[in-house]
Amino acid sequence: MNRDASITSLSALALKLTLSEEEKGFDESDGTLLPIKIPSSFFKLINPDDPSDPIRRQVVPTVFEHTESRGETLDPLAEKRHAATARLIHRYPNRAAFLTTDLCFIHCRHCFRRRFTGTFQGPANEEEIEQAARYVEKHPEITELLFTGGDLFTLNDVQLETMIGAFRSRRPDLIIRLCSRAPAARAERITPALIAMLKTFDTAPFFLMTQFNHVRELTKEALRATALFIDNGIPAMNQTVLLKGVNDDADTLKELCNTILANRIKPYYLFQGDLVSGTAHLRVSIEDGMKLEAELRKRLSGLAMPLYALDLPEGGGKVPLVNSYVEEKKDGALIFRTPYGGHRSYPAD
């Protein structure tokens, strides 16, 4: 495989970009902060003449990451509290998340799992895999397992095959979600050999969960990688994070969602930013997010419309952030406001 070199320091960034004072102020020596890691292929998407470039904002750190705002924490979803084993998080009754590795191809500055990502713990070892697989075997209410981290595709095919086999040998019915930024950040990792290995596990479906946040990430290479899954019967669904200065306007999100859908990827979630330490400068207010949701509902079809959602703090679970169109109940009918500003009635009983 062709190894795509990554930029891992401010000094390396400074050779390629004119850094702003806010970017220069990022303290790489602070071990509590997510290290810099930008694949060269992803870096090439940045317009170096635009200090507010939406790709740049996702991967180039700033001094604002040193500030912890109200309500922020390194574990906003209380994953430590819901750890069933060393690498298995069981927050929801019917699904769990397995932390395959802490390694990622790319370090996104909005990362919600920065307490774990890039901490040099490496892939789950044999004991950690077995512990998690035994737990899932004893809990048949778990019907879906997220392979996440880190990025599972930083592992080689043999490592992945071993991990998947440990779970599927005990639970052939287990649906597995493959949660990855690889199509956007390291597309060449997705190979026919990888897909062929996945297809040997045919007792239950896989789903590819991508994260594309801006239409410029949908490169020819990224779409080729995603198509390899889709062409081989593995559906792809996209989870976009709503980010200030990246995609917090209706035109950008409309183009992103329609382009994703046109390439057979279902826009699944539009996530409100989690309360992760040092990410307040990237979070959009829920009030503004709700306005965007209402505007998108006018512009997008049902297939193209993602669910705007918030993963509640302290492990409270996901809730939809959806505008209500019921305005009142009158004369035995519910009065609805249409997405376009009109009104219609529907019998209440």
Bridge-based pairing of strands 206-210 and 236-241 is parallel
Question: How many whole angstroms separate alpha carbon 84 and alpha carbon 78?
Answer: 12
Preceding amide of 302 cis, omega within 30: no
What is the number of residues in the chain? Answer: 349
DSSP β-ladder status, 326-330 and 333-337: antiparallel
- In DSSP notation, 59-92 reads HS--GGGG---TT-BS-TT-TTTTBSSSSEEEEE
| Cβ count within 10 A of residue 171 | 20
Q: Which two tokens stand for residue 159?
A: 């490592």
Active site residues: 91-92, 95, 104, 108, 111, 113, 274, 311, 318
Q: Are strands 317-320 and 307-312 parallel, antiparallel or unpaired?
A: antiparallel
Location of structure tokens 């001094």: 63
In sequence order, what E strands does the chain have? 6-7, 38-39, 88-92, 95-101, 144-149, 175-179, 206-210, 236-241, 265-271, 307-312, 317-320, 326-330, 333-337, 343-347
The per-type count for the chain, helices as H runs and strands as E runs, is 11, 14
Reported for 295-304, long-range contacts at CB under 8 A and 24+ positions apart, including other chains, are 295/250, 296/250, 296/253, 296/254, 296/257, 297/323, 297/339, 298/339, 298/340, 299/250, 299/254, 300/254, 300/257, 300/258, 303/261, 303/266, 304/257, 304/258, 304/260, 304/261, 304/267
